[in-house]
Amino acid sequence: MEYIENIIRNNGGYITANQAKAVNRTTYYKVLELVRNGDLVRIRPGVYLLPDEMAKTMIDVEIVIPGGVLCMYSAWSHYGLTTQIPTEYYIAIARNRKVRTPEYPPITIYRWDEVAYETGITHTVIEGITVPVYDIEKSVCDAIKHRNKIGIDVSSEILKNYLSRKTRDIDKLMKYAKIMRVASTIKKYLEIQL
């Protein structure tokens, strides 16, 4: 167990079936035995974590949902735009992709068209893990675009908190708003807020 635990810790807290097989077949079978005994947790087919890694509050999105990007409540919480604490991870993927979501952690998948998916992707380090997340302006546009699903009060709070920042970039916000077809709605909000 100690040998495999060292591999896992040096690999960011997880091991894949292919990584275990690359060491040797005995290591692979030992990983499967550790899963059966509860010493490792299977988070999706071929990806295993140590139980104490499950307690971390941030996941490596690329491992759990390859090509996924933190969005919606996860992004808003990261930027401090809302007081609501997400109870699950909100991850966007390209509409034409098929993914399997693990049993744990809880994940809500958003399937977005190519333009909405590719606009505003950035990478940030959260708890030592480099995570793809939409930048703050794209996240604000998402709130306005989905205002009827999340509630007008939540979208207003997000826009208000964004506008109160000294680092706000209205030009970039409006550029994204045009791309996402919410420019007229954001203009109305800006007239009221500013």
State pLDDT tens for residues 62-107.
778 889 999 999 999 999 999 888 878 999 999 999 888 876 677 8
Residue 12 confidence (pLDDT): 67
- In the chain, the amino acid numbered 5 is E
Average pLDDT over residues 50-56: 67
d(CA 178, CA 111): 20
Q: What is the mean pLDDT of residues 118-135?
A: 91
Average pLDDT along the chain = 88
Residue 171 has pLDDT above 70, yes or no: yes
pLDDT band for position 194 (cuts 50, 70, 90):
low
Give the pLDDT confidence score for residue 54 in this predicted structure: 60
At residue 182, the pLDDT reads: 95
Q: What is the pLDDT of residue 40?
A: 87
C-alpha–C-alpha distance, residues 113 and 119, integer Å: 10
Residue indicated by tokens 């079936």: 17
| pLDDT tops 70 at residue 123 | yes
How many degrees, rounded to 5, is the angle at CA 123 between CA 122 and CA 129?
Answer: 160
d(CA 163, CA 143): 14
Question: What is the distance in angstroms between the CA of the first residue and the CA of the last residue of the chain?
Answer: 60
Residue with structure tokens 């706000």?
Answer: 168
pLDDT surpasses 60 at 57: no
